[in-house]
């Protein structure tokens, strides 16, 4: 079932049958989280990222001053629903300076956990082969894409997607991790 039309997706202010809270979403694997996320409206997307960043802050109380500053900037950005309504092609360019600050403050792995993985990071060992195949469809055309599974290049299952990768899952993907 596809909910590409926002009117079909929304029924009485609720998203039809899809998880809309962070805790509900986190019950699923990364591959399923991305598929669910793709069907959600910008308001729900914003709420999920806000909750994700708050959870990160609770789980990492010993962040440095610089980490707290960068984290706060990102938290303010995701709290603004316009972040998720903007044309991703226009928004992505603005992330480059913040990406550099984020990676400098947290390192690439933690940066990925903050802005390119909604929910807990999973080990590939804990995922099924089918889930890994779906998750691998994530190589952005832009730099700093936080591609997680480098071994996916050239898989026949990889397809182009208009979003689901990189910053807040807003990067388009060409399906080729390298």
- For position 7, what pLDDT does the model report? 38
Helix (H, G, I), strand (E, B) or coil at 25: helix
Q: Which of 95-99, 117-121, 152-156 has the lowest mean pLDDT?
A: 152-156
Give the mean model confidence (pLDDT) for residues 20-49. 93
| Beta strands 14-15; 171-173: pairing state | unpaired
Alpha-carbon distance of 64 to 28, in angstroms, equals 31
Confirm whether 12 is domain-assigned.
no
Q: What's the confidence (pLDDT) of residue 4?
A: 42
Does residue 68 or residue 131 have the better pLDDT? 68
Report how many domains make up the chain: 1
Quick check: is 6 in a domain?
no
Residue 154, judged by CB atoms within 10 A of its CB (0-12, 13-18, 19+), counts as: exposed
Structural domain contains residue 122: yes
Q: What is the mean pLDDT of residues 11-40?
A: 83
pTM for this entry: 0.75
Encode pLDDT of 58-69 as tens digits.
999 999 999 999
pLDDT of residue 149: 44
Mean pLDDT on 110-125:
84
For residues 54 and 92, the model is more confident at 54
Whether residue 2 lies inside any domain: the answer is no
Please report whether residue 7 resides in a domain. Answer: no
Is 155 domain-assigned? yes
The pLDDT value given to residue 60: 97
Q: Which two tokens stand for residue 132?
A: 């890994």
Nearest Cα residue to 138 out of 149, 129, 122: 149
Average pLDDT, the chain: 75
**Nearest alpha carbon to residue 116 among 133, 95, 87:** 95
pLDDT at 110: 93
Q: Is residue 30 part of a domain?
A: yes
Judge whether 104 lies within some domain: yes
Query: What pLDDT was estimated at residue 176?
Result: 55
Burial string for 50-65 (b: 16+ CB within 10 Å, else e) reads bbbbeebbeeeeebee
Band the pLDDT of 130: cuts 50, 70, 90.
very low
Q: Dump the DSSP string for 103-133.
A: HHHH-HHHHHHHHS-SSS---GGGS-HHHHH
Q: Quote the domain boundaries for residue 118.
A: 17-173
Note the pLDDT of residue 104: 95
């Amino acid at each position: 079932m596809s909910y590409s039309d926002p009117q079909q997706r929304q029924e009485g202010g609720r998203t039809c049958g899809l998880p809309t809270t962070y805790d509900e979403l986190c019950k699923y694997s990364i591959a399923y989280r991305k598929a669910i996320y793709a069907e959600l409206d910008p308001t729900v997307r914003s709420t999920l990222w806000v909750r994700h960043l708050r959870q990160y802050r609770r789980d990492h109380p010993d962040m440095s001053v610089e980490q707290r500053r960068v984290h706060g900037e990102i938290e303010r950005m995701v709290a603004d629903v316009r972040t998720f309504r903007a044309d991703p092609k226009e928004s992505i360019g603005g992330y480059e300076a913040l990406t550099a600050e984020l990676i400098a403050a947290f390192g690439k792995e933690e940066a990925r956990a903050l802005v390119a993985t909604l929910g807990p990071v999973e080990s590939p060992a804990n995922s099924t082969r089918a889930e890994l195949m779906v998750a691998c469809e994530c190589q952005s055309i832009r730099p700093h894409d936080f591609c997680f599974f480098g071994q996916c290049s050239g898989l026949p299952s990889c397809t182009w997607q208009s979003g689901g990768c990189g910053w807040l899952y807003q990067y388009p993907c060409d399906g080729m991790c390298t």
